[in-house]
Amino acid sequence: MLQKIDGRDGNMVERWGTVAELWRYPVSSLRGERIGTAPLDTHGVLHDRGWGLIDETGSVAAPETERRWRFVPDMLARIGKTGVEISTDGTEWLAVASKAATAAASERAGFPVTFRPLAITTETTSAAQAAPRYDRGHLHILTTASLRSLADLLSPEALVDVRRFRPNIVIDMDRAEAGFPDRQLIGKQLRIGDALVAVKEPCERCSFTALAQGELPFAKDVLHAIARHGGGGFGVLASVIETAPIRDGDPVRLI
């Protein structure tokens, strides 16, 4: 049985797990950074996927569908001293809005590109902002149980690594479960530390999960296994109801 504890409103809630990892991806499709504390606003983790890499036509990089963008997951993004910073090699970091960042990314791409802020939703797109890559849930949540279950379905060469799936919050469940238990959260609310989120839908997967990125090799069997055993979904998407910083080790309670 899950541990029963008193909720803020006097109702009983279930202790479901613990925050194991927190991630932020300041530039869409670039590799992100693991963080110890994730500040939330009403749209998710602060500075998460706030920028995109754009070509001369205004199209946002889509490495899962266009081969010319396959270099993008090898680039890195972080929040540094100058705000959002990018790197093409992991050694030199450049402010995302600088000419140096534009030049470095264009050289890496082999064609002209630039970085632009992304709108929160397609409805809020302005002349200064590009449309978001995904117009879905604010937070992506994944469990270590699902990661282990997927790894058990595949050969070690597939390297089932959390970085393939780009979650914001990775949860260790208090009790071990087989399969992809994240899906039992859909339609429910989670109290994560002091924040409250509503789990809306499964995170449908595309070929991005199979792409090579950094030391992770191309692994098409990852996507095939998710399609066969997870109905195409892996992890869940949630929206923010009550904002508060989330920290490594925070308890996760099922409302």
pLDDT tens, residue by residue, 172-206:
998 878 889 998 899 999 999 999 999 999 999 99
Quick one: pLDDT at residue 137? 66
Do residues 47 and 78 touch, judged by C-beta distance below 8 A?
Answer: no
Quick one: pLDDT at residue 9? 52
More confident of the two residues 22 and 255: 22
Quick one: pLDDT at residue 218? 94
Residue type, 61: A
Do residues 129 and 116 touch, judged by C-beta distance below 8 A?
Answer: yes
Whole-number Cα distances in Å, 35 to 20, 76, 165, 237, 248: 11, 14, 16, 19, 8
Quick one: pLDDT at residue 49? 92
Q: What is the per-residue pLDDT across 232-242, written as a single tens digit (0 to 9) for each?
A: 789 999 999 99
- CATH fourth-level superfamily of 3-254: PK beta-barrel domain-like (2.40.33.20)
Quick one: pLDDT at residue 119? 77
Kindly state the tokens that stand for 189.
């609310």
Residues 100 and 162: their CA atoms lie apart, in Å, by: 31
Overall pTM surpassing 0.85 (yes/no): yes
Count of Cβ atoms closer than 10 Å to residue 62 Cβ:
17
CB under 8 Å to 17, separation ≥6 — which residues? Answer: 143, 171, 172, 173, 174, 251, 252
Do residues 72 and 139 touch, judged by C-beta distance below 8 A?
Answer: no
Q: Is 6 exposed, middle or buried (0-12, 13-18, 19+ CB in 10 A)?
A: exposed
Q: Is 123 exposed, middle or buried (0-12, 13-18, 19+ CB in 10 A)?
A: exposed
Write down the H helix ranges in 110-219. Answer: 144-153
Q: What is the per-residue pLDDT across 120-147, written as a single tens digit (0 to 9) for each?
A: 755 555 666 766 666 666 899 999 999 9
Residue type, 140: H
Whether the pLDDT of residue 1 is over 50: the answer is: no
Quick one: pLDDT at residue 224? 92
CB under 8 Å to 227, separation ≥6 — which residues? Answer: 205
Question: Phi and psi dihedrals of 35, rounded to 5?
Answer: -130, 155
Q: What is the per-residue pLDDT across 78-102, written as a single tens digit (0 to 9) for each?
A: 999 989 999 999 999 999 999 999 9
Q: Of all residues in the chain, what percent carry a pLDDT higher than 70?
A: 88
Q: Residue range 152-172: average pLDDT?
A: 94
Tell me the average pLDDT of the chain: 90
Is residue 10 very low, low, confident or very high in pLDDT (cuts 50, 70, 90)? low
Q: Residue range 71-80: average pLDDT?
A: 96
